[in-house]
Amino acid sequence: MPANTASLADVRTLLTEDFLRQFDTPGPRYTSYPTADRFAENFGPQDTLTVLTQLSSGSSAAPLSLYVHIPFCEQLCYYCGCNKIITKHHERAAQYLDYLEAELALVVKSLGAGRPVSQLHFGGGSPTFLSDDELTRVMHAIGTSFQLTPDSEVSIEVDPRTVTPARLAHFRTLGFNRLSFGVQDFDAEVQQAVHRVQSFEMVRDLMQSARELGYVSINADLIYGLPKQTPESFARTVQQIGELRPGRIALYAYAHLPERFKPQRRIHDTDLPAPGNRIAMLGDAITGFLARGYDYIGMDHFALPDDSLAVAKRAGRLHRNFQGYSTQPDCDLVALGVSSIGRVGAAYYQNAKTLPEYYEMLDEGRLPVVRGYALDPDDALRRDVIMALMCQGRLEFEPIERAHGIAVPQYFERELAALQGMVDAGLVQLQQRAIQVTTAGWFLIRAIAMVFDKHLQQAKDRHRFSKVI
């Protein structure tokens, strides 16, 4: 039974602290398989050109997905693990756009101009660091290189502190029809602790303006597990988000990894909520959003029943990419900008993570790709298995066997045996020719997918990943 059909009473019964805690281990979010930690430097610019050229010469004219990374932020948020550059010097953006256009020209040279794009997403950093003229410039460059389909999803991540209703209106003239607001928490003490102060009223007014301007989807990002948060304070944020009624909500667990992310060293361990409180926040948030009429999409996503994401979940058309759950078919993703990750065919690639290296490679006339990964047949098989579980909550053996020429019970004998503990816990059902995720299992879908991750089973250190809870 899919999670969104469970009664609120059922969910409250399921989400006990003991139930959640037993599967609270580090693990990937599976925006890709294999995950980005498996990418290697033996896959570079020439390999990427090869897969792009193969895509251009293929018979399929399926629309692409396009991601653009804008790394700049005016202020540092202490929790952030994204690739970003903190600066108040907005003139740096003009130079970055010069190089972004140079990269775009190299990509189009291999792909050919005019390829259809059904999904365009601007992430960061803070894409709204760019001025209106600069965003216009980027959209013009994309529009002359690709062809946005009439029903394309064009989205941008918004820092509420950097936009006004007038700016949102300008974004609409450029073709943006979806917004994602970075909220994280409305509690004043928490905001001070993470160095991101923005009022409830500011976000409320911007969301209202976005609705009046005709944006078809509005998302709000929240984070639980931040310093100074308590179950009571986060419950107030959940209530306030419920009042704003965005079409989608992304609820992320804060991953405190100060050894990897330098800004997090400004957060004191003693200010972080205890594990029990952290689990309580998650359980209360899930039941709180369900009580307010949201469907649980999977992992950390919620949507109102009439939102396209919820519709896709009910119809079995859910997909997953580097931006999370998506309504778009499983299409090739072309990535632009520093640190961005793309997927073309059976390969992933990632750009240089620093501006000097990104600029240097483009000055040399090369794609700024520094690492990547070419999937072997086992990777492709496991990717299909993991994505079926993550997106549909069910793995039918026959389509997998037909596509990959294997027998699931024999090929995954070890994994099916390892699932027995999750069967006993009520997370999955092992049927004769399928694996079915239960209502309880949807809330721990990452843990289920991890069973089929060969690379993770071989890894010596899982602590580079965030915890499942």
C-alpha separations of 223 from 27, 74, 107, 188, 239 in Å = 17, 20, 35, 14, 14
Determine the Cα–Cα distance for residues 11 and 110; give it in Å rounded to an integer.
50
Nearest CA to 279 out of 428, 451, 446, 443 is that of: 443
Using one digit for the tens of pLDDT, what is the confidence trace for 81-99? 888 999 999 999 999 999 9
One DSSP character per residue, 85-143 reads: EE-S-TTHHHHHHHHHHHHHHHHHHHH-TTEEEEEEEEEES-GGGS-HHHHHHHHHHHH
Using one digit for the tens of pLDDT, what is the confidence trace for 338-366? 999 999 989 999 999 999 999 999 999 99
One DSSP character per residue, 236-274 reads: HHHHHHHHH--SEEEEEEP---TTT-GGGGGS-GGGSPP
User: What confidence score (pLDDT) does residue 379 get?
Assistant: 96
Label the pairing between strands 319-321 and 301-303: unpaired
User: What confidence score (pLDDT) does residue 8 get?
Assistant: 60
C-alpha separations of 18 from 6, 13, 280, 285 in Å = 20, 11, 11, 17
Task: Name the DSSP class of 374.
Answer: E
Q: Is the pLDDT of residue 136 over 50?
A: yes
User: What confidence score (pLDDT) does residue 25 get?
Assistant: 76
Determine the Cα–Cα distance for residues 308 and 329; give it in Å rounded to an integer.
13
User: What confidence score (pLDDT) does residue 325 get?
Assistant: 87
C-alpha separations of 290 from 5, 203, 308 in Å = 10, 22, 17
One DSSP character per residue, 267-300 reads: S-GGGSPPHHHHHHHHHHHHHHHHHTT-EEEETT
Classify the phi-psi angles of 393: left when phi > 0, otherwise alpha if psi is within -120 to 50, otherwise beta: left
Q: Is the pLDDT of residue 461 over 60?
A: no
Provide, for the chain, the percentages of residues in helix, strand and coil under a 3-state DSSP scheme, each rounded to the nearest 5.
45, 20, 35
Using one digit for the tens of pLDDT, what is the confidence trace for 232-281? 999 999 999 999 999 999 999 998 989 989 999 999 999 999 988 998 89
Share above pLDDT 90 across residues of the chain, in percent, rounded to a whole number: 78
- Give the pLDDT band of residue 305 (cuts 50, 70, 90): very high
Contact predicate 284/255, CB 8 Å: no
If one counts every other C-beta atom within 10 angstroms of the C-beta of residue 177, the result is 18
Contact predicate 347/375, CB 8 Å: yes
Q: What is the mean pLDDT of residues 7-13?
A: 64
Nearest CA to 362 out of 140, 98, 86 is that of: 98
User: What confidence score (pLDDT) does residue 114 get?
Assistant: 93
Would you give the end-to-end CA distance of the chain in angstroms? Answer: 22
Q: What are phi and psi of 370, to 5 degrees?
A: -115, -15
User: What confidence score (pLDDT) does residue 429 get?
Assistant: 96
Contact predicate 467/26, CB 8 Å: yes
Considering just the CA atoms, what is the radius of gyration of the chain in Å?
A: 22
- Give the pLDDT band of residue 2 (cuts 50, 70, 90): very low
Quickly tell me which residue has 């306030």 as its tokens.
240
Q: At 36, list the tokens.
A: 């980005």
Range in 113-122, 233-242, 277-286 the model is least confident about: 277-286
Determine the Cα–Cα distance for residues 213 and 169; give it in Å rounded to an integer.
7
Whole-number mean pLDDT of the chain?
92
Range in 29-43, 54-68, 210-224, 251-265 the model is least confident about: 54-68
User: What confidence score (pLDDT) does residue 1 get?
Assistant: 38
- Give the pLDDT band of residue 420 (cuts 50, 70, 90): very high
Q: What is the mean pLDDT of residues 285-312?
A: 93
Q: Is the pLDDT of residue 3 over 60?
A: no
User: What confidence score (pLDDT) does residue 4 get?
Assistant: 43
Note the helical H segments in 292-396.
Answer: 308-315, 355-363, 377-392
Determine the Cα–Cα distance for residues 450 and 31; give it in Å rounded to an integer.
13
Question: 216: burial class by Cβ within 10 Å (0-12, 13-18, 19+)?
Answer: middle
Determine the Cα–Cα distance for residues 435 and 409; give it in Å rounded to an integer.
11
Using one digit for the tens of pLDDT, what is the confidence trace for 367-406? 999 999 999 999 999 999 999 999 999 999 999 999 999 9
Using one digit for the tens of pLDDT, what is the confidence trace for 17-30? 777 777 777 788 88
**Full set of structural domains in the chain with CATH:** 10-18+25-334 (3.80.30.20), 376-458 (1.10.10.920)
Query: Between 329 and 268, where is the model more confident?
Result: 268
